[in-house]
Amino acid sequence: MKNLKIVGRIIFALPFIVFGLTHIMMGNKMGGMVPSFIPGGVFWVYLTGIGMIAASISILINKVSKLGALLLGILLLIFVFTIHLPGLFNPQMMQMALGGLLKDTAMAGAAIFLSGYFSEEKKLA
């Protein structure tokens, strides 16, 4: 059972390192995804990339993992409400927005669940 916890933690956390690196490496291209009502544009792409990497590392090394998982879940819900949900009202973006909305909602739920799990167990494997 202990090994499953470790494997699950790794499988969950690793994609966020990739997502975070993608945000950093392609920040200028992704800047257009930041809603126009949010000032700062590309700055937020880089900041969220760093946040995803930090949360992922936190979960992987099991240090400050409750906070890391909770903040990751909140970040993903912000993506849902500011990027994906408005995208549903754009016919050209609807299919892509729905996929992103469902993915980020599911991963936010998993991150928040994991945060609660970390709080119940002092050390997760």
Instruction: Give the phi and the psi of residue 120 in degrees, each rounded to 5.
Output: -80, -35
Residue range 45-60, pLDDT digits in tens: 999 999 999 999 999 9
> What is the number of structural domains in the chain?
1
pLDDT over 80 at 124, yes or no: no
Domain-embedded: residue 55: yes
Residue range 10-25, pLDDT digits in tens: 999 999 999 999 999 9
CA distances from 73 to 3, 42, 44, 84, 107 (A): 24, 21, 17, 15, 7
Domain-embedded: residue 125: no
pLDDT for the residue numbered 121 = 60
Which residues form the domain of 88?
A: 2-120
Domain-embedded: residue 44: yes
Domain-embedded: residue 10: yes
